[in-house]
Amino acid sequence: MASRFYFLLILLLLLQAEARGDIAPEPSLSLRPSLCLTEKDANDCDIRLELQWTAPGPICIEAKLETPALWCPEEGLTELTINISADRDVEFVLLDKSDSQPLAEARLQVKPVTESSFRRRFRNPWSLF
């Protein structure tokens, strides 16, 4: 009985600490959209991305492209909109600005649109004629 009481007390204290902001949220990075479809004739995907993150301090975001790109937004911002052109998947890494340690990552998938590999049937399979 006492152990249940202590468990509930600790849980309540943790919830209060999280509500006050004493516990830093886990760093995360997300992007929208996360998939870019290219035409079969075009090699590059030109897209506008919205990056959103949570991090405890100042950050930078690195895009691993042929020529790597680095953005270091002002402290306090939690989103960034960028335009990129890529011919293959791109990995974005959220870095701690002070020591360049990776905190989180996200990936943009670049896929070519392909034609279907099967023919459509003109008759229904249940047709008698």
Find the angle CA(38)-CA(39)-CA(43) to the nearest 5 degrees: 65
pLDDT tens digits, one per residue of 67-95: 888 999 888 888 999 999 888 899 999 99
d(CA 25, CA 46): 33
The closest alpha carbon to 64, from 46, 90, 43, belongs to 90
Q: Is the dihedral of CA 43, 46, 50, 53 positive or negative?
A: positive
* Statement: the pTM of the whole predicted model exceeds 0.75: no
Pairing of strands 69-71, 59-64: antiparallel
pLDDT tens digits, one per residue of 16-51: 766 665 556 788 999 999 999 888 777 788 899 999
The closest alpha carbon to 29, from 95, 87, 83, belongs to 95
